Structure 1
Amino acid sequence: MEINDLTPAERRIWEAFPRDEGVDFREHPDEDPGTAASWGPERTLRAEVLRALLLDGPTQDGAIPGLKVTGARITGVLHLKYGDVDHPVRLRGCHFDERPDFYAARVRTLVLSDSVLPGLEASNLRVDVSLRLSCCRINGPLRLSGAQVANGVFLNDAVIGTPGSRDPDDPDAPVLLLNHASIGTDVRAKRLVTHGRFLLNATTVGGQVMLDDAELNCPDGTALHAETLSVGTDLRAMRMRATGRVNLTGARIPGQLNLALARLANPGGTALRASSCTAGEIWLRECPRIQGSVNLRRTQCDLLFVAPEVWPDEVRVDGLTYRSLGPHLPAEERLPALERDAHGYTPFAYEQLAAAYRTAGDEAAVRTVQLAKLRRHRRTLPRYARVWGLLQDGTVGYGFRPMRAAGWLLALLLTGSLAFAFHHPPPLKAGEAPDFNPVFYTLDLLLPIIGFGQEAAFAPSGAQQWLSYLLIVTGWTLATTIAAGITRALSRQ
């Protein structure tokens, strides 16, 4: 392209390009690029001129060329598909009339911060340094699938998509595609706003993903789709507001999955699906109650920090493993969440909770959880087995409440002793029987193993005979139940 074919505005950037000098067309620093319809030709650039500069622009000995423009209106399609750009591209605060095309291009660095675009096609883009889209307003889809960025991707304060613009034929269509990408350091997207699905699945991030204070909107769809995401350190989403499903299935997060103070809402569907994940720590600290179900099946972490009031009405935790649980609360406050599993009775969930309390040294809580597990299991048994379970529970609490046996024995001993003290049963052989002792006579009836010589020497009749039968039967039953409970307790040890 000849310089004689350029407008005065284009000539300014053509002359500044060889020395990497910036050209600022703004009238004041706080100018809104959304008002570009009122900008005249003095600050309008044709996309074909920028393309010619980037692919075959002039150079100057001893200087490094680069494109650095602020506050311009760019008309036409900036077509760099498959292009190889050896210069930094910095178009800050600009307004693009049409969607730029960087498909499979290679650039040194790409900066579009504070700009307004109808969309951006940059799938399979390769960036040698960083990709900066902070404070951008992108009304259409931002496509970065398969991108390779050596440094970081910056989306702080960006707004992707427009409210109510979802395709009725495909309401779950993504507006931000960063899937199957490779990012060398961080994805920084604080206060990001998306209106549609944010696709981040199968992406590898060398550092951390930061979504603090982000607002992800995809009602009845998937607000964040990050299956098999792999990060080097943390996924931070503190105070994030997600309307729609957050899907982290199979993600690998060696540091923290930090959702502290986040608001997750997908009524009638799954609000958080993080099954088969591996994370160092999972934080749901001080979150409002989650609206929608939670799926953490087969997930592994060292620390799970979540208060009971955060759990929704339906949770799936079968196979969830954690070493410690925070905050430390009484077991009675943790158990109701295990009752909400959609798959019904899941014994592993109880064993895992008991293991966490055992790690914390709270043996009383361990016994409470184990007892709750057996009571929950009892509801799955046939009726006859439930009767036996109720008997074990009522007498010795399945071996976890051994003092109950002493209470039952004491009550039966007191009943029998008083009954036989008021009316002694007659001896079988007068003159040969020992002196009658109501306490030891009752013990002889109650305890099937120990004998004090009282039961065989006296023969009750009438109501006392029926009382003796009752004491013998209850004594045998109680002894058998105690033995079963002790056996169970010893097997746990």
Structure 2
Amino acid sequence: MAESARVPRHCGIVPFVDVELARPALTEVERALVDHVERGAVLDLAEDETIDRTEMRSWDTSRAVRAAVVRDILRGRLAPEPDPHGLRLRGARITGRLDLENLTSTVALELRDCLLSDGLIARDAHLPTLDLTGSVLEHPHAAPMAATRLTTTALFLDQVVVEGHSASGAVDISDARLGALQCCGAKLCNDSGPAVDAERMQADQSVFLRDGFEAVGTGKQGTVRLHSARIGGQLSCQGAKLRNDSGPALHAERLQVGENVFLRDGFEAIGAGAVTVTLSGARIDGLLVFQPARLEHLTNPSARLNVDGLVYSEVPAGLTTDDWLRLLRGGTPFYAAQPYQQLAAAHRAAGHDDQARRVLLAQRRDQVLRRAITSRAERAWVRFTGLTLGYGYQPWRALIGLVAAIAVSVVLACALGGHGGLTQVRNPPAPGPAPCTLVERIGIGLEVGTPLITPGTRTHCDTTDGATGQILTATGWALRFGAWAFATLFIAGFTSAVRKT
């Protein structure tokens, strides 16, 4: 008997076993894969035929490659001198969970149109490229693609199908460091959490979730979660369809994008919970193109969009200014001044001063109508300044009121003065009334209705003590008060004294 066999078990020493000898021999398909990796060629087990995803689960051993073999190739154990093209495999069934956790490799990994029935884990992995285009990823209990803190120059998930049952996300790339993310035409579903969790992800280039991209998620974290993510290039969700029956469809709070953001060309978002789409606190250094084909909250139409704190550098495209204002007024869950101020600032920077004033007027209306102001006195004052000054942005309204008060004064003075309301002032006094001339009556009207102007007409034409004269006197006081009020409001509005955010 060998010496190692007589070592007592309680000593904690086990006989040496050669791992290489213990590993099952490579299958014919696996040997072919190693050969193709060394030659830099694609091993296409589908032989260029179109893949029918409904038949993937029926693939036999002629299509099977063990996940451990893929891992060993990436580690350099089976292909010590791989071609720079890396591992390229198409139409294969990967058996077992592909575990790349903590793996650092110089070999690019391309698994196109493959079935990963136990999913992929790539936490803290460092890979040149990860390409899963056209593949199907599943897992009955965990995230089909768990890739938190993954580092790679490019992640390709075009046309992938991912079905998850994990609270951490069907595709979990939170804290990942990517060059670019391309996820065009993908179909992602998770009945226990997000479809894509990319919280705090950093992508140096662009992120594409477009061209038929569909995602269904569950819960308050959102279907597509880009919370605090940073994207150096553009974010394109053109034609994307997002749905969540119990939470946000797109959660992009504090997202930072270095270029343009596209949410158009058939973009749809259907959500529930707090809000359907949240871009609160986000920053877009380029152009925001927002033109959803469908933006819906399942229970509350006023909770479709949250853009409080969103900052962008240009006037948003896609929606007209009127459309934006309707959405801010009727599609946001609460009143906030910042979205209006940001939109007005963008218009002002573009030289659209009229549009900027329209936005600020709409803000004040929203502030009153959405009950941001609760005091009755303050609400009454805001309504009054809205009517007379356009909330301080249209002071010409008060000027019109002033002119109207003067005109009414002149008309009354002319009308009532001709019916005993005015009489000539005689010195010395003479018996009997003497009607004032038309010019004198106009002068009395101007004196009554114009603040700070005293033509001196009263020295030779004044009101009588009769009923008509008393009516003219009382009416004159009211008109003079109104003229003073309109003049004061005009000055206050012109100097922005009544404007508030």
Question: Which category of TM-score, normalised to the shorter sequence, fits these structures?
Answer: 0.7 to 0.9
Aligned ranges 1:130-149 → 2 under 5 Å: 130-140=154-164, 141-149=170-178
Describe the SS at the equivalent of 2:110.
strand
Given candidates 83, 87, 96, the residue that maps to 2:107 is: 87
Whole-angstrom CA distance in 2 between matches of 1:490 and 1:15: 81
Q: What code does the residue aligned with 1:242 have?
A: A
Q: Which residue of 2 aligns with 1:221?
A: 247
State the alpha-carbon separation in 2 of the partners of residues 104 and 401 from structure 1: 66
Mapped partners of 2:81, 2:44: distance in 1 = 24
Cα 1:92–1:458 change in 2 (3 A) is closer
Which amino acid counterpart does residue 243 of structure 2 have in structure 1?
N
Secondary structure at the aligned position of 2:407 is classed as: helix
Consecutive unaligned residues in structure 2, runs of 5 or more: 1-19, 139-143, 165-169, 218-222
Q: Structure 1 residue 284: deviation in Å?
A: 5.4
Q: Report what 2:330 is aligned to.
A: 313
Residues 12-37 of structure 1, C-alpha deviations (whole Å, 9 max, x = no match): 11222222221111155211234222
Kept after mapping to 1: 8 A contact 2:278/2:307 = yes
Q: What TM-score results when the alignment is normalised by the length of structure 2? A: 0.75
Q: Distance in 2 between matches of 1:392 and 1:40?
A: 80
Q: In 2, distance between residues paired with 1:192 and 1:154?
A: 10
How many angstroms apart in 1 are the aligned matches of 2:279 and 2:94? 38
**How far apart are 1:221 and its partner, in Å?**
0.6
Counterpart secondary structure, 1:201: coil
Match of 2:204 in 1: 184
CA shift for structure 1 position 224: 1.4
In structure 2, the CA distance between the partners of 1:90 and 1:406, relative to structure 1 (3 Å rule), is: closer
Q: Which residue of 1 aligns with 2:484?
A: 480
- Equivalent residue, structure 2, for 1:160: 188
Query: Which residue matches 1:16?
Result: 36
Partner of residue 358, structure 1:
none
Alpha carbons of 1:336 and 1:10: their partners in 2 closer, same or farther (altered >3 Å)? same
- Given the alignment, which residue of 451, 474, 482 partners 1:470? 474
- Matched-pair contact (CA < 8 Å) for 1:446–1:471: no
Higher strand share: 1
TM-score w.r.t. structure 1 length?
0.76
Separation of aligned partners in 2, 1:459 and 1:237:
70
2:214 to 193, 197, 200: 193
1:130-158 Cα deviation digits (max 9, x unpaired): 11111100111111111112x21111111
Q: Give deviations 1:31-81, integer Å, cap 9, x for gaps.
A: 123422221111111212222222233447695473111001111111221
Q: How far apart, in 2, do the equivalents of 1:390 and 1:138 lie? A: 54
Whether contact under 8 Å (1:285, 1:305) holds in the other structure is no
Distance change (3 Å), C-alpha of 1:382 and 1:442: farther
More deviation, 187-196/427-436:
427-436
What residue is the counterpart of 1:274 in the other structure?
307
Deviation of the 1:206 alpha carbon? 1.7
Who is 2:447 aligned against?
447
Q: 1:53-452, aligned counterparts within 5 Å?
A: 53-59=73-79, 63-64=83-84, 66-118=86-138, 119-127=144-152, 129-140=153-164, 141-149=170-178, 151-161=179-189, 166-167=191-192, 173-190=193-210, 191-196=212-217, 197-239=223-265, 240-244=267-271, 245-267=276-298, 268=300, 270-281=303-314, 283=316, 285-286=318-319, 306-311=323-328, 313-315=330-332, 316-319=335-338, 320-321=341-342, 322-324=345-347, 335=361, 338-341=364-367, 344=370, 380-381=377-378, 400-423=397-420, 425=423, 430-431=429-430, 436-439=435-438, 440-441=440-441, 443-444=443-444, 447=447, 450=454, 452=456
1:446–1:475 CA contact under 8 A, matched in 2 = no
What runs of 5+ residues in structure 1 fail to find an aligned partner?
168-172, 288-303, 347-375
| Inter-CA distance 482–260: structure 2 relative to 1 (3 Å threshold) | closer
Query: What do residues 255-283 of structure 1 show as CA deviations (whole Å, max 9, x unaligned)?
Result: 01221344321241622212212211353
Between stretches 42-51 and 322-331, larger displacement belongs to 322-331
Q: Which amino acid aligns with 2:337?
A: D
Q: Report the equivalent of 1:42.
A: 62
Q: Is the 8 A contact 2:411 2:445 kept in 1?
A: no
Tell me, yes or no, if the aligned pair for 1:183 and 1:205 is still in contact at 8 Å: yes
> How many angstroms apart in 1 are the aligned matches of 2:292 and 2:241?
13
Check conservation: 2:410, 2:444, Cα contact below 8 A. Answer: no
For the Cα contact (< 8 Å) 2:159–2:186, is it kept in 1? yes
Mark the CA change 1:456 to 1:482 in structure 2 (over 3 Å): closer, same or farther: farther
Helix, strand or coil at the partner of 2:409:
helix
Question: Match for residue 4 of structure 2?
Answer: none
- CA distance in 2 between counterparts of 1:391 and 1:50 reads 73
Change (3 A) 1:472 1:80: closer
Separation in structure 1 between the aligned mates of residue 88 and residue 28 of structure 2, nearest angstrom: 16
Q: CA RMSD for the aligned pairs?
A: 3.8
User: How far off is 1:404 after superposition?
Assistant: 4.1
Give, in angstroms, the shift of residue 285 of structure 1: 2.0
- What secondary structure sits across from 2:312 in the alignment? strand
